[in-house]
Amino acid sequence: MEEKKFDINSVIGFVLLFGIMIWWSITNQPSEAEKAQQIKSQDSIAKLKEVVKPVKVENTLTVPNFKTDSLGLAQAKKLLGDFGYSASLPSAIDNETVIENDFLKIKVSNKGGQISEVLLKKYTDYNDKPVYLVKNNNAELNIGFTTTDHRNLNTKDLYFEPTLTKNGDSSVLSMKLKTSESTYLEYRYELLKDNYMLNFSINGTGLETAVNTTSNLDLNWQLKTLRQEKSVKYENQYTTLHYAFDNGEFDYLNAAAKDKQESLTNVNWIGFKQQFFTSVLVTDTPFANANIISNNLVDDEEIDTVYTKVMTAKIPLAFKNNNLNYDLKMYYGPTDYNVLITYKDRGLENIVNLGWGIFGWINEYLFINFFNFLKGYISSFGIIIILMTLFVRIIMSPLVYKSYLSSAKMKVLRPEMEELNVKFKGKENAMKRQQATMALQSKAGVNPMAGCIPAFLQMPVFFALFRFFPSAIDLRHESFLWAKDLSSYDEVINLPFNIPLYGNHVSLFPILASVAIFFYMKMTQSQQMNMQAPTQEGMPDMTKMMKYMMYLSPLMMLVFFNNYGSGLSLYYFISNLLTISIMFVIKNYIIDEDKIHAQIQENKLKPKKQSKFRAKIGQAMKQAQEQQERQKKKK
């Protein structure tokens, strides 16, 4: 057995954790009753592992192996009609044909003519085992149809005959379900060199004598997604069914929903997306209709599950003049923006959820390019995250400065505003008090909204990075300090029990980020109070709410980010540290309150032209005041 060793990074992590735990003074010890409940829960989980949510499956026809002679053919036709011909051929055995390139190894089964295994050669899962998108019957590609002699058959039950050829740098596999040597249903697979995309076509030749061509064929494509990442909950959060329409629009099902179903029209592609890997069915001619279904297999509690979701697409295929011809493609590969953008003509890059609107634009045109630039020169992705954070903070520092400057101006002006509160006491003078306050602020050149605008402008960057890091496949299996995988949580302690919402482990980066947020909010509390006008009579006091938020925000970070990727928590930790540093420098070395006070007094002496917005507000308030006074006189 390999001996476990502590390296310097683990020591750093534990020292930091120990210091924070002393400071935080938190202890969690389960009672005897809780221990008994844990044992009971573990027994329930063990039973739950054996239960997989049932998915409706077509009736399966058992096709025996017939002898390859006239007697065997007669027996096969009695059971399967014209399709008994394929069952009597030498290929009617449980065998697989392999096609592969440097990226993929694909096995196609004689039974059903469908893909039975897909291996991604360049990736491993959370246990350092090969990544299989299809394996052990977790996928199905089936066509249901009715024969001319009224039999209901499914291709998954029938045997295809394989023919493998080379076409330049590509491998071509033809799988034929025959009714005779010249009439058949064909699946044609073509795997190109250095490509995750597989050309796939469905063709019918001379089938009108065997198949009822007046009815649609029922194509059923299904995948039970295999778990690939350490955090089941986090992976499942980003595992969902995506689709695109022929007008260029795209959408996806709600990943958080237990079960979800949609009916679509004019569909260009359907993608079964996992957090970092994706299977996509693409069509050259849009599907007129499709019904998509997603079933969640993961319980709210994180368990050692094998599968995360079952995703299904049911698509009717129509004959045209008794002919069947559908040119399709199948993508099996990483959910990597840099890879998927090479299929931009299909719009596959939209599978990567970079956020909607401005958040997606920031990621697409700024952060992805900057991240790619950095990784071309730096091998440590932890250092790349820190440099990205520094880049963002430097860009945002002028906004932080403006916010602090506005705070300082409001602080200097606050005594005069409090005098106005005393001068215009009572609810009956509320309108006059507000008018006088606005006039004072306008005369002094102070805008109370100036402190809110910088914070508002930073929000798109915040949400963009919240989407960027969970989608960055480059962070998979990349270590930094004590974090072994920046795409997953950085546990330093594994708990023998599960805490609701928190999990069964302790991650260190969320703790550090929570502490940094606490000190950041404590530091900005005085700034926020300065920006707030003195509490007027009849108005709620915001001071208590700000104090609650100072404790609530770090707590939310601590709880909810415990299962998130450590790369995201590292970003928030470094970001808040840098923000605190920038604020400290601005407050102590750049902002001079005496100069600000002198400038405000100077502004008061200057003739001030009121903005149209302030003039309209002032006019509205004056009219309201006059109306209020008229009502008093009537009384």
Of the candidates 251, 453, 460, the one whose C-alpha atom is nearest the C-alpha of residue 361 is 460
| Sequence-ordered list of residues with C-beta below 8 angstroms from that of 162, at least 6 positions apart, any chain | 91, 95, 97, 108, 110, 173, 174, 175
Helix 508-531 and helix 566-585, axial crossing angle in degrees, nearest 10: 40
Q: What is the mean pLDDT of residues 322-329?
A: 92
| Cβ neighbours of residue 229 closer than 8 Å, sequence gap 6 or more | 125, 126, 235, 275, 276, 487, 488
Residue 196: which residues within 8 A CB-CB, separation 6 or more? Answer: 103, 104, 331, 332, 333, 334, 339
Confidence at residue 553, expressed as pLDDT on a 0 to 100 scale: 81
**Number of CB atoms found within 10 A of residue 569's CB:** 26
Which residues neighbour 373 within 8 Å (Cβ) at sequence distance 6 or greater? none
* pLDDT tens for each residue of 464-503: 988 999 999 999 999 999 999 999 999 998 888 888 888 8
Confidence of residue 311 (pLDDT cuts 50, 70, 90): very high
Split at pLDDT 50, 70, 90, the class of 563 is confident
Highest mean pLDDT among 41-55, 292-306, 533-547: 292-306
DSSP code, position 150: S
pLDDT above 90: percentage of residues in the chain: 42
Nearest to 197 by CA among 134, 279, 316, 284: 279
If you compute the radius of gyration of the chain from its CA atoms, what whole number of angstroms results? 33
Which residue is listed with tokens 């080379």?
A: 166
595 pLDDT above the threshold of 90 = no
Q: Where are the domains of the chain?
A: 70-353, 372-616
Mean pLDDT of the 232-253 span = 91
With cut-offs at 50, 70 and 90, classify the pLDDT of residue 574.
Answer: very high
| Least trusted range by pLDDT, from 292-296, 378-382, 446-450, 572-576 | 446-450
Report helix angle 381-423 to 430-444, nearest 10. Answer: 120
The pLDDT value recorded for residue 2 is: 40
**Tokens (6 digits) for 17:** 């954790």
Please name which of 480, 491, 496 lies closest in space to residue 230, comparing C-alpha atoms: 491
With beta carbons less than 8 A apart as the criterion, state whether 272 and 371 touch.
no
Domain 70-353 indexed as CATH 3.30.70.260: no
Distances 161 to 66, 174, 185, 361 between C-alpha atoms, Å: 15, 8, 10, 48
Residue 9: enclosing H or E segment and its boundaries? Answer: helix 8-24
Q: Which residues contact 42 (CB under 8 A, 6 or more apart)?
A: none
Confidence tier at 570 by pLDDT (50, 70, 90) = very high
Is residue 37's pLDDT more than 60?
A: no
Q: What confidence score (pLDDT) does residue 429 get?
A: 65
Mean pLDDT of the chain: 80
More confident residue, 215 or 21: 215
Give the pLDDT score at 550.
73
Max mean pLDDT range (77-91, 445-459, 590-604): 77-91
pLDDT at 29 over 60: no
Distance CA 308, CA 126 (A): 14
Backbone angles phi, psi at 31, to 5 degrees: -80, 175
Residue 26 has pLDDT above 50, yes or no: no
Structural contact between residues 62 and 111, judged by C-beta atoms closer than 8 angstroms:
no
Q: Residue 239: what pLDDT?
A: 93
Q: What percent of the chain has pLDDT over 70?
A: 70
Q: Answer with the residue of higher pLDDT: 35 or 63.
A: 63
Q: Whats the size of the chain, residue-wise?
A: 635
Residues 276, 335 contacting (CB under 8 angstroms): yes
Residue type, 363: N
144 vs 620, residue with greater confidence: 144
| Sequence-ordered list of residues with C-beta below 8 angstroms from that of 538, at least 6 positions apart, any chain | 427, 430
Contact between 349 and 271 under an 8 Å Cβ cutoff? The reply is no
Which pLDDT score is estimated for 523?
75
Per-residue model confidence (pLDDT) at position 613 = 55
Q: Closest Cα partner for 362 from 293, 278, 269, 458? A: 458
- Binning pLDDT at 50, 70 and 90, where does residue 606 land? low
Kindly report the number of other CB atoms within 10 A of residue 535's CB atom: 13
Helix (H) or strand (E) holding 43: helix 32-49
Q: Note whether 334 and 276 are within 8 A (CB).
A: yes
What pLDDT, on a 0 to 100 scale, did the predictor assign at position 56? 40
CA–CA separation, 222 and 201 (whole Å): 17
What distances in angstroms separate CA 154 from CA 108, 141, 176, 177, 565, one per listed residue?
17, 10, 14, 11, 43
- Largest separation between any pair of C-alpha atoms in the chain: 111
Full DSSP string of 199-231: EEEEEEESGGGTB-TTS-EEEEEEEEEEP-SS-
Residue predicted with more confidence, 26 or 165: 165
Reading the block at residue 417, the tokens are: 């505003």
Of 40-49, 372-381, 475-484, the least confident: 40-49
Question: What average pLDDT does this structure show over 504-515?
Answer: 91
Q: What pLDDT does residue 334 have?
A: 96
Count the helix, strand and coil residues of the chain and give each as a percent rounded to the nearest 5: 45, 25, 30
Residue-wise pLDDT tens digits, 83-129 = 888 888 899 899 999 999 999 999 999 999 999 999 999 999 999 99
The per-residue pLDDT for 45 is 32
pLDDT of 33 above 50 = no
Note the pLDDT of residue 248.
Answer: 86
Pairing of strands 259-273, 277-296: antiparallel
Residues 366-375: contacts with CB within 8 Å, 24+ apart?
Answer: 367/464, 367/465, 367/468, 368/337, 368/338, 368/468, 371/468, 371/472, 371/474, 372/338, 375/474
pLDDT of residue 41: 36
Identify whether the C-beta of residue 172 lies closer than 8 Å to the C-beta of residue 180.
no
The model's pTM: 0.77
**243 has a pLDDT exceeding 60:** yes
Q: What is the pLDDT of residue 5?
A: 42
> What is residue 517's predicted lDDT score, i.e. its pLDDT?
87
| C-alpha closest to that of 628 among 364, 435, 415 | 435
pLDDT in tens, 397-432: 777 777 767 777 776 666 766 666 766 676 666 676
Q: For residues 634 and 565, which has the higher predicted lDDT (pLDDT)?
A: 565
Mean pLDDT score, 59-71? 57
Residue 425 near residue 462 (C-beta atoms within 8 A): no
pLDDT band at 55 (very low <50, low <70, confident <90, very high): very low
> Residue 396's pLDDT is what?
81
Question: Does residue 277 contact residue 120 with C-beta atoms inside 8 Å?
Answer: yes
Alpha-helix residue ranges (DSSP H) falling in 501-565 = 508-531, 543-560
Q: What element of type H or E holds 390?
A: helix 381-423
Question: What span, in angstroms and rounded, lies between the C-alpha atoms of 556 and 546?
Answer: 15
Choice among 11-15, 105-109, 281-285 with the minimum mean pLDDT: 11-15
Helix (H, G, I), strand (E, B) or coil at 233: helix
Other Cβ atoms less than 10 A from the Cβ of 505: the count is 18
3-state secondary structure 397-414: HHHHHHHHHHHHHHHHHH
